[in-house]
Structures are given as C-alpha cells and as structure tokens.
Chain A
Amino acid sequence: MSDGRLSPDPGPSPRTGPGPGTDPGPGPGPASSAPPDPAVPRGPVAAGATPPGTTLSLKSRVAVAVAAVVLVGGAVVLATALAYGRHAAREAYDRLLVGAASDIAESITIRDGTPEVDMPVSAFELLSLARKDRIAYRVIDRAGRTLTGDAAAPAPETLRDLSLYSGAFGDEPARYAAVVRRFAERGYSGPVQIIVGHTLRARQELARDIAQNALAVLGAAGAAIALFASLAVASAMRPLTDIGAALARRDPTDLTPLRAPAPREIAALRDALNAFMARLDRQLRANRDLISNAAHQLRTPLAAIRVQLEAAADDPDPARKEALLTRVHERSRAYGRLLDQLLSQGMVLHRADAIAKERMDLRDAALEIYEQSDIEVFATGLRLRLDLPDDPVTVEGDLLSLTEAGKNLLTNALRHGTPPIALGVARTGGEARLWVRDAGPGPAPGVLKRIGDRFARDGLSRDGGAPGGVPHTSSSAAGRSEGSGSMASDAVEPKVGGSTDRVSPTAASPDGACPADAPPCGATPGGAPRGGGAPQTTGAAMGGGLGLSIAQTVADNHGGRLSHGTDAAGFEIAMILPVAPA
C-alpha cells in the first residue's frame, strides 16, 4: 500500500482526488469521478478477501497432548499395575501355600516307623482363603511313596527345603509349594515331602482387581488432568481474546499502543503488535506529511507557472513573451526537481521502516552518488573530487537511502556551494563519515541551527535564505502557518486515515482553486500576474528543496546524525553513521 502511494503514479487516483464531502469547488473534478484504479491495492478490499485459514485450535492441541500423555502414561501404568498385581497376587498366595504346607508338615508324626499325617484343618482353612480354587496336596515319604493326598500332584525336580513351582492340576494350571521335613527317629530317618498346590483363580482375580483399581484411578486422574488442562488453556487464552476484543473495539484510526497488561508470552505479541502499529502510524504520518508537503510545495510554483503562462498569453510583446516562456520552462524544470525530491523523501521515509539494513561499504554509496551526479556535475561544468579511503568502511545501512541522502547533500553543494567541491568517505574511530565539502563559507548560521529540527525549513540555499521557505516533513499546522501553508494542512489533515484513505488537497487541485475560507489563497505571491520577485523566491525554495531534510531523515534512521563545520578550507557537511561491528 505504501509503495503504491509513494510510487510516481501518473494516473488519477482516488486518494489524491478531491473528496466529495470536502470539496468546496464548483463540482467534482474529473479525478473524483474517475473509477478507482484497479491496479492499486486497497486496504478494505484486501481485508475483505478470503480470510486467513485457521489451524488446529490450541484447546485441541492441548487436548491431543493431554490425551497422548494419558494414553501413553496409562498404558505404562496399566502394564505396571498388571505386572505388580500379578506379582503381589503370586507373593500373597505363595505364602498361603507355604503356610499350609508347613502346617501339614508340623502335623506329621512317626508311628511304628511310618510317617502319619493328622491332616490339620487349619491348613485347609488357610487354603480356602482362595475360595474358588481347587486344592491339591500330597505327602511323600523317603521312598517316594505317596502317603496321603493326590498322587498325581507334581513334585519339584529337586528336593529342597522349600520349592515354589508351577504345574498342572487336572485340566487347570496351578501353583505348587513343596516343603521338606526331615525326621531322625528310630523307625524312620529321612525326609518327608509335603506338596501343596492350588489353581490360579484367586491370583488372577486379585491381579485383575489391582489392575482395575489402577485403571479407575488412572481414569479419574486423566479426567482431572483434562479438566485442569482445559481450565488452564481457557485461562491462558483469555489475554489473547482480550487483545482481540480490544483491537476489535478500537476506532479504525486509533493506532496508539495497547496498554493492557498481559502475561509475558502474550506481552511479546502485544509489543510486536504495538511496534507494528507504531510503524504503521509512522508511515501513515509520513505519507500524510509527504502529501501535505507535496500539496503545499507544488501548489505555489504551479500557480506561478500558470500566472506567467497567462501573462505570456496576454502579452502582445513577442520579446517579453519569449522571456516569460523561458522563465516558465526554467520553473517547470525546478518543479520537476522538487517533485523528485518529494518522492525521494517519501522513499527514504518508507524505506526507513520497510527495508532491513544490511552490512555495506559506505564507499559504495559514495561511488553511487558520484556516478548518479554525473549529469548534474556536467551540466554545471564544475569539477567534483572523490576522496575514498583504501579500506572498506562498513556500516549497517540501506544503500539506496544513503545514496539518496548523499546525492541531496552533493546537489546542495553543487548548486549553492563554492567550487571546488569534494565528496568522500572517512572513518574516525567508531564513526563513518560520508561528507561533502566546498570552498565557500557555508550557509547562514540561522539555517544551520535548524538542522535536525523536524520543522526546519531547508534554508541552505545560499541565494538569500528563502524567507518564504517551505515547511517539510511537518505534521504541525503551526509549523507552516505562514504564507500559504495553512491551506494544505487544512485540506489534508481530516482525510488521512479515512477508510478510503483519500486525500483531497484542495489547494493543490489543478485549477488552483482555493477554499472559500482561505482568502489569503488568492494573495499568494504567485498570484501576482507579473510579480517577478515572489515567484523567484519560491523557485529558489524549490531548488533548495528538501535535500537537507532527507539527509537528516536518513541519518536518523541509521542511528547517526548530520554534522557540519566551517574552516579555512571551506564548509563541510557530513552524515555520521556508526561503524558496523566486525
């Protein structure tokens, strides 16, 4: 959008045509009735195009993440719980088996050389704790004979004091414990092995119970996590929604920063948004200034040209007619230069924000200036000396802007300075200098004092200080209330920022019509049919142009400054920029 506005667009544009509501003229001009240029992108249209797509909502993302955590964690916990349950059940019921087997072992006595088992009910009470399990038991004497119990119950492979092992019990899997009691009696010396086993139902039930409980706890935990995550996301998103709401509530022209406090993460977004708006605001202001400047600066010379042309047309004397036409020709050339400068200023203002600075050699800028100034140098017949160091002078900068600024400084020198004129680059400490020097005494001290003042007039023209000088890069009506300035500012200000962004600088309208409430308009210096003096002054202002202001803007944008000084050799003005760190 900015590009469109700043590019030299020859066609009539609705932005520069008179607005219907504010045009006090006799009727809408041709520009205002012209259809909008379709090639020029327009904000509202662009905004009304296909809305940007939305991606997966943050809630869904968090939900997916939480679900993943719960699922993966759940699988792990479940597997662990199952394993633990199985282990716990095995431990518990193995103890039962061992207890029962020991109980039975205690009940064995040797009678007549034979072990006799007075089967204790307590052992079976113990085993009945696994209520639904079948019980296998077997007592084996030293000869391997089954004294009592189920002879089919499997014995452990080795005879140990305590063995725990798995086996079958009929058609069902079972777990067995075997304990050995050793006797040293008169009639019987040797071991008696007691085997007790039961099926696995109780173990499986216990393991399942444990796993189920774990699953229930896990489910509850998952639900709680989901709930809190949802609340957290809602709470985290609120500042974003607040910012959105604050923006939506805003007046369309309001580009002031958002002040609402925000969490750190969102403050970054807010600050970026604020920075963006500030840049937008600067550019809007710059454009507005440019337009009002242009309107103001272009209006007066144009009126002068018109007046002179009218005078020439009316003048019967061919010699005077010829002189007047020559003058008009000169003026129109100056007018072109002024236009160039205005555009150049618009460009550097735009680039200040829009273009990223790169590492560059300041000598390149000097060469570029030198080359681009060839025609002008040739035209003036002056000699230009180029003074460059051998080593690169690296700065972070925008070559185009720096070149433009340097050109303007050089043009000023060529036009108003005293030859010989020199252009150069130097490095002193951490500072790089792009300087222009002439042999003259420099401009009047009053003019130089105002360098750096945003409202300063470019009075560096040596031809008399331009009393009717032109304000530039100004947004203050006070700054240009002298002369005809009020016209332009009045016409421009209410328009900027409107939805169509149109500017109707009435004062600059082609026919030179003035607003009804601006009587001085008709009394502009250019309005005098034969006023030679006033148009001259204006012409000088046109020639001096905005060069210094452009240089000042570029220096500011590069974190540098303008400096000037007069010594015995002459006057030097320089743009001083910080040297880029190695």
Chain B
Amino acid sequence: MTGLRILRAMGMALLAALAVPLAPVRPVAAQELAQRLGPPDATRSVTLRSTTDLDVLRPVLSAFLADRPQVAVRYEQWLSNGLYARATADCLQRRAGADLVISSAVHHMVDLVNRGCAARHVSSGTAALPPALNWRDELWGVTQEPAVMVYNRDLVPEADVPRSRFDLLDLLRSPDSRYAGRVATYDIEASGLGYLFAYADSLEATTFGGLMEAFGRTDTVATCCSAQIMSGIVSGRYLIAYNIIGSYAMERARDDPRLGIVAPDDYTLMLSRGAMIPREAPDRDLAGELVDFLLSVEGRAALKDAALLTDLDELTRTGAATAGQGASLLRPVELSPKLLVASDRHKRMLFLSRWRDAFPTVEPVAPAP
C-alpha cells in the first residue's frame, strides 16, 4: 500500500499543477524515459513525446526510420498528466518542445488544440480519416484501442468471467464476495487515460454510478498504470481489472495465457490516441511525415502488429468479444470539442469528488483555489 500512496501523492502533485493551467507551471518530473532511436549520424531528428510504452511503439518507429537513414527519433515517454502539463506550458510560453505529441488522454489533446497550440497539417492520409478522428486538421486519431476488462484465467472460473459491466456488478454485489479487494482499475486522479475512460463511462450509461458504488463497497484498488495492473493480474494479486487499455493487454496476452481479455458486451469504448504537432514544433515537416506514416498502409500494418489497431474482427477472433456483436458494440471516443467538458475545472472537481466518495481509501485532494 505504501507504493500506492506514493503514486497517489505523485498524482496529487500533478493534479495541483493541472488545476491551475494558467498559473506558472512547475517543472514536472513526469518524464519516464527518454531514448534516441535511429542512426547516430542522422541529420534530422524528430522529438516525439508520448504516453505510449516505448516497447510497444518501438517497432512502429523502427519501420518509420527504416526508410529514412538521415532521421532519428528522440522519444520521450510521459505519463499523460505530465505530458499535458508540459505541452500546455510549452504552448503558453511559445517554447519549442516536442515535434509531435501523441497521448492516449485525448481530452488533453483536444484542450491543447482548442487553445490554439497545434499546427495544421493536411495530407492524403489525414484527409482520409473519418471526421470523428480528425479535428481541424490539427488532431488525428492514429490508433484504435478498446477499453477492456482483464482477468486471470487460472483464478477466475469460466462461469464468473464478466462479459459485461452488469456481470461485473453482480460479482461485486456483496462486500464479502471473493472478488472484494481483488478488482483493480486506473486511479483516475493519477492517470489521464483512466479519467477519460471513467468520464466516457459516465456519459455512456447509468451503470457507471452503480459500478463506482460497487467498487467502493468492495475496496476496489485504484492504481496506476497498465503494466502494474497487468502484472498484478498475472501474479494473482488482482483477479479482474476494469477499463484497461486493450492494446497493452492484448500484447501481453500473446505471451501469457493466464491473461484473459473481455470486451464488454454492453458497450466497448474505443480509444484513438491523439497525435498533434505543437505550434512551435522545430521540425513540423518531419512531424507531419511521421503522422502520415502512422496513417499510411505501412504504418497501420506496424501499428496493428503492435496491437495498437484493433477492430471488432480482431476482438471476436481473440475471443475478447462474443461472436455476433454488431459494430454498435464499439463506442469510439470522438475527437471533438465535446471532450473539453472532461477538462473543465469544475467538472473535474465534481467528478473527482464523486470518485473519492466511492473510494474512501483515497485521501481527498484539496480543491483548487
């Protein structure tokens, strides 16, 4: 629990920084990792800041670099809230930062674009995107990843496997259920993606209220980061995890048969990571080239290999979704100004206070001044 506390504290610090976006931004040490890819003698370099695990994205970037011997990618892996804070600060101070920003917390990206922080880029690739995945030619949805439930195949009997949120609610009905305390989900205060999924859930169905209540009743664990949660599942620490980004889970499930994945039957959120070229990007052209690559046939093949492009067929084939589901099962998170509501200060305060009410173990965060 101590580790969790520390993580929470980090999240609170982030939140404090975010709560007042216009106040001088404190340096946030949220950068998890920085690595340079490509030949050492490359003449051009593109700085990519992303929330994506480098290990997942590396083959995609390698494919990009394969045809470009003169290009290097400077990759920085960030937590979504930190990335948002940094990009906002860069934009407000008109400071050259990243050439390309890709975040799973697309409400952050929508907010950045809405603030006028993005540069326009138009190509055949961006023009071919559906309207829900292209906002103002400044923000593009480059991946397609479901929000899934993950469970331990060894420890969760087949009959118990929740196919929908209602099933999960049933499992958590009683505080002395064997799943009590062994269900995990993102800590939405720490994870921008977790917040986004929770917010999207709150818009989709009334189930979310019941689910929060059940989570609180059964001491569900709110924690950070997909990797830790999945490790917990595999180790048996958690039996079921809710609203986990499907790409990581599927990637991991390829190697680990203990990991079961469910795309909920009632609806499955479909997230497209948002890519945006900051207005002050040093090399916009190269950044645009990278975006075009991600939208190209070749790039999409690489993304698919990295489990970053999942469609209904794929979900059905892997058994995550029950066969015979229509496309209405999937609820894409649209890249539109509607997501601004998710970033609204009061909305966020209200949402988090509801969250805290449900998770009494989480220490309350002082409301923003």
Contacts and interface: CB of A to CB of B under 8 A. Distances in A.
Interface stretch (A12-20, A147-155, A416-424): A147-155
B341 A119 contact: yes
Contacts of B341: 119-121, 124
Given A118-B350, A121-B203, A131-B131, A148 B113 contact: no
Given A134-B114, A135-B114, A151 B22 contact: yes
Interface stretch (B36-44, B314-322, B332-340): B332-340
A497 B113 CA distance: 96
Contacts of B336: 128, 131
A132 interface: yes
B70 to A, nearest CB: 33
Contacts of B340: 124, 135, 137
A148 B340 CA distance: 12
A116 B115 CA distance: 23
Contacts of B115: 134, 150, 170
B338 A124 contact: yes
Interface in A87-131: 116-121, 124-125, 127-128, 131
Given A170-B115, A172-B116, A117 B337 contact: no
Contacts of B136: 132, 134
B116 to A, nearest CB: 4
A169 B345 contact: no
Contacts of B95: none
Given A151-B22, A171-B116, A172-B116, A134 B337 contact: yes
A131 B139 CA distance: 13
B135 to A, nearest CB: 8
B346 to A, nearest CB: 4
Contacts of A118: 346-347, 350
Interface string A131-151: 111110101000000011111
B154 interface: no
A121 B116 contact: no
Most chain B CB inside 10 Å of its own CB: which residue of A119, A125, A132, A139? A119
Interface in B133-175: 135-136
A127 B340 CA distance: 11
Contacts of A137: 340
B22 A117 contact: no
A539 B138 CA distance: 120
A119 B116 contact: no
A119 B347 contact: yes
A124 B346 contact: no
B203 A119 contact: no
Interface residues of A, number: 27
B337 A169 contact: no
A96 B275 CA distance: 29
Interface in A409-428: none
B32 interface: no
B285 interface: no
B266 interface: no
Contacts of B350: 116, 118
A171 B22 CA distance: 17
B332 to A, nearest CB: 15
Contact of B338 (A128, A133, A134, A139): A128
A133 B340 CA distance: 13
Given A134-B113, A169-B116, A170-B116, A127 B347 contact: no
Given A134-B116, A151-B22, A119 B344 contact: yes
A147 B116 contact: no
A151 B23 CA distance: 11
Given A121-B203, A169-B116, A172-B116, A127 B337 contact: yes
Nearest to B347: A119
A132 B131 CA distance: 10
Nearest to B338: A124
A128 B22 contact: no
Contacts of B135: 131-132
Nearest to B22: A151
Most chain A CB inside 10 Å of its own CB: which residue of B115, B136, B341? B341
A131 B337 CA distance: 8
Interface in B105-138: 113-116, 131, 135-136
Given A134-B115, A152-B22, 13 more contacts: A116-B346, A119-B341, A121-B341, A124-B337, A128-B338, A132-B136, A134-B113, A134-B114, A135-B114, A148-B345, A148-B346, A149-B345, A169-B116
7 contacts: A116-B350, A118-B347, A119-B341, A121-B341, A137-B340, A170-B116, A172-B116
Interface of A: 116-121, 124-125, 127-128, 131-135, 137, 139, 147-152, 169-172
- Ranked 8 nearest A-B pairs via Cβ: A170-B116, A119-B344, A117-B346, A148-B345, A119-B347, A148-B346, A124-B338, A135-B337
